Structure 1
């Protein structure tokens, strides 16, 4: 079992600025959960004669050149991700049903969006886009595994905590930092969803917001 993930000071500052609440809580990722990521990233890669080498859930070691499928270095992948988010953060498509499901769940749950987003300048664009799509919930930006941030967000909550994210790394981190949470691994892209084998601590693997909302309602 990995050690609990410490929270970054800049993330803790954002959490402390949120209104205090003891209500039950949904902590929800944004990319590939509320907003499509993979389809946009794939378009970005193809425009640069790059591609995903397979549908494994990772980026480093899984992006290559179209000509010879040679693998990009970690530094090259990071540079492309920074450029990609600068280009697309204001224009991603909504995952079908996310807005309606979250609006309905918000009648009985607090909802906080916890997103790994490079560049603090991209946060306002993401908040504006989500608000325009009917997803007006508080956004906390993080970097790296999310366990420490999830534990901090859940502190002093008396009700259940649900964590929704696509990344197995983030789920493993949350399992170490807040094992009492209900973990939903949501992957909108059907190919990556089909290729994913969930770890034992995952309570639901899905790419469907109706199924997700029904599962969360059943917790109560």
Structure 2
């Protein structure tokens, strides 16, 4: 699988760093998503009812009760991300944990979202004090993490709430330390147990020490 060309361009803009590497997802890892998104939907006349770990098929029009079509869900997500600064707040404990780790490791944020939202997200993260490099990707994350690591064998840790992103990292960087963190742990009931090699963490208090140990810092 190849790397997203725009993501590659963004990576090439980064300064070289040979310290241990921590790659972080953004939604429901650094910024709350699944808590504010239902409130946003209510404002738009929709409701979110989880029957599985997906958005498509679980968003319903309040008045008609009909499920929102895929295109409408995509439009709602796009509008939410346009307005993210009004809705998305920091995940509890994230800022302090990452600030501590960043003293001895390179920290890069890798978010799966359309590239057109990058500037809006960059501004919001800066306003929250998360001034770490931000990459967007519209393809699998594994190739991007491999490229970020570079030619060295430096330790790599990756934190994400989506199992398929962690599996992508595992495929392309087999020795990466992988952590499954979800801002809302109640959603774990919709997921199977994580595959071997992926560590479940309950929150940032649980994650920070484990990540530091994995990176050897």
Could you tell me the TM-score, scaled by structure 1's length? 0.88
Cα deviation 1:33-69 (Å, max 9, x = unaligned): 1011111211111223322221632222222233564
Residue 15 of structure 2 is aligned with which of 12, 19, 25?
A: 19
Runs of 4+ in 1 over 4 A off after TM superposition: none
Q: SS at 1:38's partner residue?
A: coil
- The change in CA–CA distance for 1:201 and 1:50 in structure 2 (over 3 A counts) is farther
User: Hey, what does 1:205 align to over in structure 2?
Assistant: 200
- The change in CA–CA distance for 1:174 and 1:131 in structure 2 (over 3 A counts) is same
Could you tell me the TM-score, scaled by structure 2's length? 0.89
User: Hey, what does 1:172 align to over in structure 2?
Assistant: 167
Residue 72 of structure 2 is aligned with which of 73, 76, 79?
A: 76
- What count of residue pairs does the alignment treat as equivalent? 215
Q: Pairwise mapping of residues 35-50 of structure 1 onto structure 2 (< 5 A)?
A: 35-50=31-46
Cα deviation 1:157-201 (Å, max 9, x = unaligned): 322111111112212222222222111111101321454333314
* Unpaired runs of at least 5, structure 1: none
- Does residue 52 (structure 1) correspond to residue 48 (structure 2)? The answer is yes
Q: Pairwise mapping of residues 1-220 of structure 1 onto structure 2 (< 5 A)?
A: 5-54=1-50, 56-67=52-63, 69-89=65-85, 91-120=87-116, 122-219=117-214, 220=216
Cα deviation 1:54-103 (Å, max 9, x = unaligned): 16322222222335643222222111111111122465201111110000
Deviates more, 1:46-55 or 1:178-187: 46-55
8 Å contact from structure 1 (residues 112, 139) kept in 2? yes
Q: SS at 1:36's partner residue?
A: coil
Deviates more, 1:74-83 or 1:89-98: 89-98
Deviation, 1:12, is 0.3
Equivalents in 2 of 1:125, 1:82: separation in Å? 12
Cα deviation 1:127-166 (Å, max 9, x = unaligned): 2222232221100111132122111112223221111111
Equivalents in 2 of 1:142, 1:78: separation in Å? 16
